[in-house]
Amino acid sequence: MSSRYLVTGGAGFIGSALVRALLDRRDGSVAVLDNLLTGREENLSELAGHFEFVRGDIRNASAVERAVAGATHVFHLAAIPSVPRSIDDPVPSHEVNIDGTFNVLRACAAARVSRLVYAASSSAYGDTEVLPKVESMLPRPKSPYAAQKLMGEYYCSVFSSCFGLETVALRFFNVYGPRQDPSSPYSGVLSLFMKALIARTSPTIFGDGEQSRDFTYVEDVASLVIKAAFAPNVSGNVYNAGNGNRYTLNQVWRELEKIEGVSLPPRYGPPRAGDVRDSQADTTAARRDLAHDPRFTLEEGLRRTLAWYRENLAEANTAR
Ligand code: UD2
C-alpha cells in the first residue's frame, strides 16, 4: 500500500520544508491542512499540482476528520508558535495548540492512522540546571506556549497507551532557515536578524544577548521528522530535535556581521517575559533510536538562509 502523508501546518515555514522532503521521497501522496493564519501558500508555490491543499482550522474537529481520512502518516505541525505571543494573547494559542492537537489525535485514532509525529518544543524544559537538556529531565514550562506544547506531548503518549495510536513527539530546538517569516514581532529571532542585516539596520536584542540557543537548520528537522515516522519501537516517546550545539545571540549576530562584512552594533532592550536562558539538545536518544544525523553547521545554515533572504525578502514584503 502506498503512503498518504498529511502535514498539518504544511504551508508554514517548517511544514513546507517537510512537504518538500516528503515529495522528494516519491513513495506516496501528500496533503496539507492549513488555515493560512501564519502559513503562506507562497511557501509551496513551486510544488502546486504535486500535493493536495485543504484550507481548514484544527480547532474545527470535523474539518480535521475530513482531512485525516485516508492518511497513513500524519505530521502535526499546525500551531500558534511564539512564547511572547502566548503571553500577550493566550486564548488562541491555547485553543490551537491544545484543543487543536486533541482534535488531530482523536481523528488519527479513529481513522487508524499508522503513526502521528508531533512537533513539540524545547521550551518544555524551561531553565534546567544542567546542559545539554536530556529527555529524562523534569519539564518546567515557563510560558503558556511551553505548557501547551508539553500538554500535546502528554496527549500523544496517552493516545499511544490508551487508544492504540502510534505517536512520536519531537521537541524542536529553535529551527531556522529559508521561508521563516520575518514580518511579525513574534517571528523567530534569526529571521529578524536576517531582515535587519539585509536592511543594514541594527537588530534589537532582548536582555544582554548572552542567552543561548541550539539553532537547528530546517532541513535537518524535516529529515528527522520523516525518520520518526518510520523508526521501529518508538511509539509514545519524546525526542529532542536539535543540532546539539548552542550559540549566544551576540555570537550569532557577530557571525552574521562577519559573513556580510558590516558592523551594526545591536540595540539592547529589556529581557522578554517567559524567556529561557540557555538551550542545547542532548541528541543521544534521537541518534540512537531515530538515526538523527544533523548535517548543517550554524555557519553553513546561516549562509544558506541569508542567500535565500537576499533573493526573496523584497518579494515577500511586497506580496503582503
Ligand atoms: C521557543 C523555543 C523553540 C520553539 C519556538 C517557537 C526555547 C528555548 N525555544 O523559541 O524551540 O518552540 O519557541 O516559537 O524555548 N529575541 C531577541 N530579539 C528579537 C526576537 C527575539 O533578542 O527581535 C530573543 C528572545 O528574547 C530569545 C531568543 O531571541 O531570547 C530567541 O527567541 P525566539 O522568539 O526566536 O525563540 P524562542 O527561544 O522563544
Query: pLDDT tens across 275-285, in order?
Result: 999 999 999 99
Q: Does domain 176-213+245-279+296-319 sit in CATH 3.50.50.60?
A: no
pLDDT at 228 over 80: yes
What are 136-183's pLDDT values in tens digits?
Answer: 999 999 999 999 999 999 999 999 999 999 999 999 999 999 999 999
Cα(91) to centroid(ligand 1), Å: 20
The sign of the dihedral angle between the CA atoms of 187, 171, 213, 139 is positive
Mean pLDDT in residue range 201-221: 98
Instruction: Find cell 539538545 and name the residue.
Output: 281
pLDDT at res. 313 = 85
> In the structure, what pLDDT confidence band is assigned to residue 56 with cuts at 50, 70 and 90?
very high
Cβ proximity of 282 and 122 under 8 Å: no
Mean pLDDT in residue range 38-50: 97
- The CATH H-level superfamily of 3-175+216-241 is NAD(P)-binding Rossmann-like Domain (3.40.50.720)
DSSP labels, the chain: --EEEEEETTTSHHHHHHHHHHHHH-SEEEEEEE--SS--GGGGGGGTTSSEEEE--TT-HHHHHHHHTT-SEEEE------HHHHHHSHHHHHIIIIIIHHHHHHHHHHTT-SEEEEEEEGGGG-S-SSSSB-TTSPP---SHHHHHHHHHHHHHHHHHHHH---EEEEEE-SEE-TT---SSTTS-HHHHHHHHHHHT-PPEEESSS--EE--EEHHHHHHHHHHHHH-SS-TTEEEEES-S--EEHHHHHHHHHHHHT---PPEEEPPPTT--S---B--HHHHHHH-------HHHHHHHHHHHHHHHHHHHHHH-
**Closest Cα to residue 300, out of 210, 220, 225, 223?**
220
Cα(289) to centroid(ligand 1), Å: 28
Torsion of CA 155, 76, 194, 309, to 10 degrees: 180
The answer to whether the CB of 180 is under 6 A from ligand 1 is no
| All structural domains of the chain with their residue ranges | 3-175+216-241, 176-213+245-279+296-319
The answer to whether the CB of 304 is under 6 A from ligand 1 is no
pLDDT at 58 over 80: yes
pLDDT at 318 over 90: no
Share of the chain above pLDDT 90, in %: 97
Mean pLDDT in residue range 259-285: 98
The answer to whether the CB of 35 is under 6 A from ligand 1 is no
The Cα 283–Cα 173 span in angstroms is 11
The answer to whether the CB of 38 is under 6 A from ligand 1 is no
Hey, which residues does 189 pair with through a beta bridge?
none
Share of the chain above pLDDT 70, in %: 98
Cβ proximity of 294 and 229 under 8 Å: no
Cα(33) to centroid(ligand 1), Å: 25
pLDDT at res. 176 = 98
Grid coordinates given for 120: 513539540
Q: Which residue's CA is the closest to the ligand 1 atom numbered 25?
A: 206
Catalytic residue among 125, 145, 155, 309: 145
176 a catalytic residue: no
Do 3-175+216-241 and 176-213+245-279+296-319 fold alike per CATH?
A: no
pLDDT at res. 261 = 97
The answer to whether the CB of 143 is under 6 A from ligand 1 is no
Mean pLDDT in residue range 124-132: 97
> In the structure, what pLDDT confidence band is assigned to residue 1 with cuts at 50, 70 and 90?
low
> In the structure, what pLDDT confidence band is assigned to residue 315 with cuts at 50, 70 and 90?
low
Q: Which residue's CA is the closest to the ligand 1 atom numbered 36?
A: 188
Give me the chain's average pLDDT, please.
Answer: 97
Ligand 1 atom nearest to CA at 206: 22
> In the structure, what pLDDT confidence band is assigned to residue 319 with cuts at 50, 70 and 90?
very low
Strand 204-206, strand 237-241: pairing: unpaired
What are 3-40's pLDDT values in tens digits?
Answer: 999 999 999 999 999 999 999 999 999 999 999 999 99
The answer to whether the CB of 204 is under 6 A from ligand 1 is yes
The sign of the dihedral angle between the CA atoms of 126, 18, 16, 260 is positive
> In the structure, what pLDDT confidence band is assigned to residue 320 with cuts at 50, 70 and 90?
very low
What are 60-103's pLDDT values in tens digits?
Answer: 999 999 999 999 999 999 999 999 999 999 999 999 999 999 99
